[in-house]
C-alpha cells in the first residue's frame, strides 16, 4: 500500500497541547492507553501522526500556503529565482517583505512557520516517548518505527536551523510544559547540525534499505539526509556576521562517503518526468512527501496545500488560480548558454532574454530570442507563446494575475498539464496527487560534486563527471516544440557538457553553483544554497540592481549582512517570557 493513502488516520491520545489536530478529520475510535499500546494498529496511529506533520495543517485548514512545507516563499521568493506574484505588493505583504529584504520580527508568516515546525517536532517527540513503552516482542518493528519518526523530527530541526539559526532544542524527554523555559542560544548552528547528522546516522542503523510500503522512510533516506546536513555543517560560519570562515574538508569527505552508500537510484531519462504522477516514486525519488487526491478524506484529498495559491491565472488560462510564485526575469536570463551550450556566467551584463513585445493591435511576440538557451528553461518556466506541457488548446498566454507588477511568466514545475484527468479543474485549481521531492538523485550527484570541488585535488575530475551527468539528462530530454510547427523546437536550445580543459577549482565552483540553480530552480532551496556558500549578500544585491528596471519595487531594496537568517519572531520571544536572544543583524528585543 502506498503510504500517502493511509496518512488520514487520526493520531489520538498523545500530548499535543501546543497544536490543534482538527485537520485530522477522522473521528476518534478510542484513546491510546497502556492497555492497547502493543496493538499494531495503535502503533501505526502514532507513526502516521508523525508522517502527517508534512501536511503542516495544525491550527487553520488553509494555512499551509502561507507557511509552506515546500518553502516556495522562504527559499525562492526570498532569493533571486522568484517574485511573490498574486494581486500586487500589498497582497500577502509579509512575503513581499521577504522578497525585498525588509524582514521584521513581527512578520506573522515567520511566526506561523516557527509554530508549524515546532508542532511537527512536538508530535514526533510525543510519538517517540509513547513508542518507547511498546513491547518489542509483540511489535518487532518498534525500533524501525521510532527511527522513521526520528528522521521526520530531524527534517523539522534542519528546517529551523536553515530558517532561524538561533533556535531552542526541545529534547524528546522534556515535558512540554517546560518548552517556554528553553533558551534559543544554548547551541550554535554547527552544534545543531552536528546533532541532527548524528541522529540521522543513528536512525539509519535501525532502518531497512527498503520498506514494503511506498513512502516510508528507509535507511537510504536517512543516509542521504545526513549527507545533506553535513554539507551545510562543513561551511563554518562566523556567529555574528554569518560569513563563511572555513570549509571543513573532513566533513566534505564524510559527505562523499555517505552519498556513496546511497545505492539504487538513477536519473529519470527526461527532466519533465519529474512532474508526472507515474514517475513520482520512481528511480530518482530518494525522499518525497507523499500527497494524494480523491483518497476518501474530505474535499479533494491530501493534496499539497502549500501550493494552493500558486496556480496560474489570466486571460485564456485554463485555470483561474491566485497567481503567486512567479519566476524572475533574472532566472530566465540565467538559462542562456554560449556557442558551446555552456552557461553564460555574466548573463546579467546582457539584455533580458525573451521579453514580451506588443504590436499596435494588441498582439504580442517574444523579443531577443536569437541566442541559445538551456532546454530546462521551458521545462521549468511557462512563457507566453510557448507550449505549456501537453496542453493543445492554446500556447501559454499572458497568464499572470498582475502583469504590470510581475511581468508575464509563470511556473511549469510541480503542475500536471491542464487537460490531465488527474488535475482538479475547479478549486483548488490544478491540484493533484503529485509528491513533493525533498531529496532526489540529482541532488545527491550535485552535493557530491560540491564536496569534491571544495576538497580539491583529484576529486575535481569526478565532480565534472557528476555535473555532466545532470546536464546530459537535460540534453537528452525531449525539447519543447513550437506550438504551431511541432517539427521545430520552441527556442534555440543548446546545452553542452563541461570539457576538461580549464576545469580548475574556481571554474568548477562556478559551474556547480550555476548547475544547482538551473537544475533545482523553484524547488525551495535557492536562498539556503546562497547562505551556505556565503554569497547571499553579493548575489541578492546584484540581483536587485539587475532587476530594478523590471520590478519598480526593487528600487530601494538592499540586502545587508546579518539577514541570512530570519529574525526570531516577536511572538515567540513573548512565549519564552523574554529569554530568547535575537539573531545578529536585527535590533535586540
What CATH number does residue 452 fall under? 1.25.40.390
Confidence of residue 33 (pLDDT cuts 50, 70, 90): low
One domain, residues 232 and 349: no
The alpha carbons of the chain give a radius of gyration, in whole angstroms, of 23
CA distance 145 to 311: 36
Instruction: Report if residue 388 sits inside a domain.
Output: yes
* pLDDT attached to residue 295: 82
Instruction: Report if residue 586 sits inside a domain.
Output: no
Instruction: Report if residue 549 sits inside a domain.
Output: no
Secondary structure (3-state) at 256: helix
Compute the average pLDDT of residues 89-105. 97
Question: Which contiguous run of DSSP H or E holds residue 364?
Answer: strand 364-367
Confidence of residue 332 (pLDDT cuts 50, 70, 90): very high
One domain, residues 86 and 213: yes
Which percentage of the chain shows pLDDT scores above 70?
A: 93
**pLDDT of 529 above 90:** yes
User: How many domains would you assign to the chain?
Assistant: 2
Give the residue from 547, 134, 70 showing the smallest Cα distance to 310: 70
60 versus 515: the higher-pLDDT residue is 515
**pLDDT of 546 above 50:** yes
* pLDDT attached to residue 1: 34
**pLDDT of 18 above 50:** no
One domain, residues 254 and 318: no
**pLDDT of 474 above 50:** yes
Cβ atoms of 536 and 78 within 8 Å: the answer is no
**pLDDT of 235 above 80:** yes
Confidence of residue 46 (pLDDT cuts 50, 70, 90): confident
Give the residue from 90, 93, 71, 73 showing the smallest Cα distance to 82: 73
One domain, residues 13 and 147: yes
One domain, residues 153 and 22: yes
One domain, residues 199 and 338: no
CA distance 130 to 31: 13
**pLDDT of 13 above 50:** no
Confidence of residue 7 (pLDDT cuts 50, 70, 90): very low
Looking at 26-30, 206-210, 361-365, which range is the least confident one? Answer: 26-30
One domain, residues 251 and 315: no
One domain, residues 80 and 194: yes
Instruction: Report if residue 286 sits inside a domain.
Output: no
The domain boundary residue, chosen from 465, 494, 524:
524
Which percentage of the chain shows pLDDT scores above 90?
A: 86
Q: Cβ contacts of residue 127 below 8 Å, gap of 6+? A: 11, 14, 46, 47, 49, 50, 149
**pLDDT of 21 above 60:** no
Question: Hey, how many other C-beta atoms are within 10 angstroms of the C-beta on 194?
Answer: 16
Give residue for cell 539509519.
204
Instruction: Report if residue 536 sits inside a domain.
Output: no
Q: Give the torsion through C-alpha atoms of 443, 448, 451, 452, to 10 deg.
A: -140
Instruction: Report if residue 485 sits inside a domain.
Output: yes
Q: What is the pLDDT of residues 549-584, one digit of tens each?
A: 999 999 999 999 999 999 999 999 999 999 999 999
One domain, residues 213 and 341: no
One domain, residues 251 and 327: no
- What is the full DSSP assignment across 355-385? EEEE-TTS-EEEES--SEE-TTHHHHEE-TT
* pLDDT attached to residue 584: 93
| 145: its cell numbers | 518505527
Residue 310: give the domain boundaries: 306-524
One domain, residues 248 and 315: no
Backbone angles phi, psi at 246, to 5 degrees: -165, 145
Q: What is the pLDDT of residues 392-437, one digit of tens each?
A: 999 999 999 999 999 999 999 999 999 999 999 889 999 999 999 9
Give the residue from 250, 237, 258 showing the smallest Cα distance to 455: 250
For β-strands 244-247 and 235-237, DSSP reports them as: antiparallel
Instruction: Report if residue 558 sits inside a domain.
Output: no
User: Model-level pTM?
Assistant: 0.94
Confidence of residue 441 (pLDDT cuts 50, 70, 90): very high
Secondary structure (3-state) at 16: coil
One domain, residues 313 and 259: no
Give the residue from 106, 95, 88, 96 showing the smallest Cα distance to 65: 95
Confidence of residue 34 (pLDDT cuts 50, 70, 90): low
Q: Give residue 588's Cα distance to chain centre.
A: 30
Amino acid at each position: 500500500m502506498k503510504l500517502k493513502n493511509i496518512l488520514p488516520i487520526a493520531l489520538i491520545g498523545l500530548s499535543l497541547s501546543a497544536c490543534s489536530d482538527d485537520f485530522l478529520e477522522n473521528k476518534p475510535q478510542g484513546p491510546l492507553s497502556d492497555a492497547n499500546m502493543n496493538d499494531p494498529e495503535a502503533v501505526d496511529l502514532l507513526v502516521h501522526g508523525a508522517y502527517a506533520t508534512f501536511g503542516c495543517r495544525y491550527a487553520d485548514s488553509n494555512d499551509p500556503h502561507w507557511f509552506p512545507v515546500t518553502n516556495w516563499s522562504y527559499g525562492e521568493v526570498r532569493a533571486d529565482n522568484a517574485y511573490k506574484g498574486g494581486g500586487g505588493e500589498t497582497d500577502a505583504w509579509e512575503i513581499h517583505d521577504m522578497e525585498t529584504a525588509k524582514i521584521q520580527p513581527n512578520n506573522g508568516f515567520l511566526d506561523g512557520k516557527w509554530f508549524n515546525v515546532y508542532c511537527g517536532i512536538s508530535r514526533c517527540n510525543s510519538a517517540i516517548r509513547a513508542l518507547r513503552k511498546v513491547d518489542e516482542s509483540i511489535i518487532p518493528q518498534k525500533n524501525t518505527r521510532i527511527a522513521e519518526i526520528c528522521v521526520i523530527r530531524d527534517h523539522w530541526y534542519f528546517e529551523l536551523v536553515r530558517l532561524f539559526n538561533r533556535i531552542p532544542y526541545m529534547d524528546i524527554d522534556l515535558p512540554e510544559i517546560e518548552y517556554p523555559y528553553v533558551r534559543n542560544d544554548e547551541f550554535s548552528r554547527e552544534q545543531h547540525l552536528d546533532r541532527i547528522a548524528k541522529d540521522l546516522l543513528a536512525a539509519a542503523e535501525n532502518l531497512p534499505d527498503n520498506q514494503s510500503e511506498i513512502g516510508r522512510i528507509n535507511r537510504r533516506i536517512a543516509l542521504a539526509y545526513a549527507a545533506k546536513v553535513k554539507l551545510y555543517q562543513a561551511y563554518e560560519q562566523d556567529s555574528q556576521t554569518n560569513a563563511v570562515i572555513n570549509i571543513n574538508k573532513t566533513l566534505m569527505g564524510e559527505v562523499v562517503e555517505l552519498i556513496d552508500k546511497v545505492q539504487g537510484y538513477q536519473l529519470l531519462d527526461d527532466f519533465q518526468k519529474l512532474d508526472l504522477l507515474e514517475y513520482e516514486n520512481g528511480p530518482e525519488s530518494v525522499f518525497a512527501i507523499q500527497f494524494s487526491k480523491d483518497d476518501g478524506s474530505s474535499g479533494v484529498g491530501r493534496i499539497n496545500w502549500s501550493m494552493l495559491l500558486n496556480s496560474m491565472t489570466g486571460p485564456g488560462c485554463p485555470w483561474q488560480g491566485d497567481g503567486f510564485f512567479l519566476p524572475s526575469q533574472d532566472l530566465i536570463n540565467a538559462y542562456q548558454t554560449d556557442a558551446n551550450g555552456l552557461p553564460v556566467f555574466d548573463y546579467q551584463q546582457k539584455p533580458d532574454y525573451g521579453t514580451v513585445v506588443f504590436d499596435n493591435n494588441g498582439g504580442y511576440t517574444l523579443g531577443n530570442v536569437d541566442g541559445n538557451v538551456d532546454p530546462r528553461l521551458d521545462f521549468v518556466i511557462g512563457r507566453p507563446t510557448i507550449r505549456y506541457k501537453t496542453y493543445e488548446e492554446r500556447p501559454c498566454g499572458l497568464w499572470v494575475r498582475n502583469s504590470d507588477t510581475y511581468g508575464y511568466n509563470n511556473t511549469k514545475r510541480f503542475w500536471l498539464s491542464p487537460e490531465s484527468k488527474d488535475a482538479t479543474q475547479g478549486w483548488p485549481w490544478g491540484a493533484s496527487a503529485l509528491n513533493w521531492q525533498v531529496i532526489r538523485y540529482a541532488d545527491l550527484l550535485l552535493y557530491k560534486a560540491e564536496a569534491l570541488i571544495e576538497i580539491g585535488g583529484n576529486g575535481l575530475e569526478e565532480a565534472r563527471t557528476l555535473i555532466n551527468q545532470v546536464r546530459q539528462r537535460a540534453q537528452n530530454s525531449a525539447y519543447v516544440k513550437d506550438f504551431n510547427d511541432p517539427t521545430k523546437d520552441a527556442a534555440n536550445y543548446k546545452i553542452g557538457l563541461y570539457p576538461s580543459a580549464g576545469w580548475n577549482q574556481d571554474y568548477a565552483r562556478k559551474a556547480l553553483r550555476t548547475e544547482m540553480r538551473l537544475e533545482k530552480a523553484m524547488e525551495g532551496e535557492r536562498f539556503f544554497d546562497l547562505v551556505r556558500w556565503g554569497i547571499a549578500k553579493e548575489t541578492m544585491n546584484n540581483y536587485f540592481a539587475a532587476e530594478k528596471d523590471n520590478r519598480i519595487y526593487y528600487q530601494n531594496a538592499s540586502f545587508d549582512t546579518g539577514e541570512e537568517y530570519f529574525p526570531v519572531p516577536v511572538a515567540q520571544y513573548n512565549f519564552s517570557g523574554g529569554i530568547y536572544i535575537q539573531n545578529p543583524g536585527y535590533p535586540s528585543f
